[in-house]
Amino acid sequence: MGLRVVCPDLMGYGGTDAPRVPPEPISYYGFRKAATDIKELAQQLGSSTVILGGHDWGGAIVYRVALWYPELVTHLFSVCTPYRPPSKTFVPLEELVKTKLPNFTYQLQFGGKSVEEAVVSRQQIREFLNLAYGGRGPNGEVGFTSREGVRLDMLSKANDTVLVSKEILEYYADQYARNGMHGPLNWYRNREINFQEELALDKSTIDIPVLFIQAKKDAALPPEMSVGMEKSIPNLSKEEVDTQHWALWEAPEQVNDRANNDIAQLLRRFENIIAFAPAEGPDRKPTTTAVEAYQMEVESAALVRAAEDILSLTRMLKEMWLFGKLEVGGERAREVEEKREEVARGVVEGLGRVMGKETGGEGRSG
């Protein structure tokens, strides 16, 4: 499709900075800071607009970028993560887990101290990731559930996950080990600062085209969490994949096909939008489409040139008449007649095209 793809890490992951909190504020791991970073990255890359996509925390962030910087994002897609609009009332995670989202119990564990204190060395990080990615104990014991979190007592006992290869698991362990678990876990400690900062947002709806790819068996972000998304996203498309939470690993071809198909459709729609974008009149009210306005501008310029030709011809005829040079026949007369007919045809054709545009005749396509 000719698109440039850029995959940045979130703050605290991979090769990014991982500021300690404290002394640094938790806002470094907030949605607004992530949105601002993405906007700056786009500027550094020379992109005035972008298509954004993400999974899990990345999926949550792409919505927020569209809220904070609506002029930057033309389309977005999110895998697994449904849109939850900003709220005017803060609900602590503990209460949310008790009342509405018991599937977020693992976030209480990640946002607390137990994981960060127990998972320190590179080997412990590898063992933690192995459990999070589906590694099981010697007797088939489950090492992670969304309603309990990671079983830290199984860190050194689990068999390797079958979800990803050993090479990928080792690579992830290396990346996490750069700065430890403090940075990634801070994303589970940012709810209140996100709430406070988002009180400044003017709107909670997202008007651009959005694709949401739901993992049908996702226990952490179950399908019921996406109910009602269309109320806040009027231009929403939904797709499903028959996977659990790690959809990008479990069914990469399915996810890519759905995303690519949607992006291709969006690009075609974008081309159509360009072709039929409203052009504003002097009162800034839409009058016609951008392409039609351009065509009419070209045709109007042609009419002006034709009118100038008529004036020039008229002056020439007048001079020939006044000075007695107008001949009934001969080469000069034929030249004048051919010029007159050429100009007349141009004026008639130009007027016909413009009138066709104004009346909705043959000049209008579609």
Q: Cite the active site residues.
A: 56, 245
| Residues linked to residue 73 through DSSP beta bridges, in sequence order | 50
Token representation of residue 51: 């298509």
Contact 63, 83 (CB under 8 A): yes
Strands 278-280 and 286-289: antiparallel
Token representation of residue 120: 């320190």
Q: How many CA atoms lie within 13 A of 247 on its CB side?
A: 31
Instruction: Spell out the long-range contacts of 287-291 with Cβ–Cβ below 8 A and sequence spacing 24 or more.
Output: 288/357
Cα distances (angstroms) measured from residue 7 to each of 4, 10, 14, 184, 283? 10, 10, 11, 17, 43
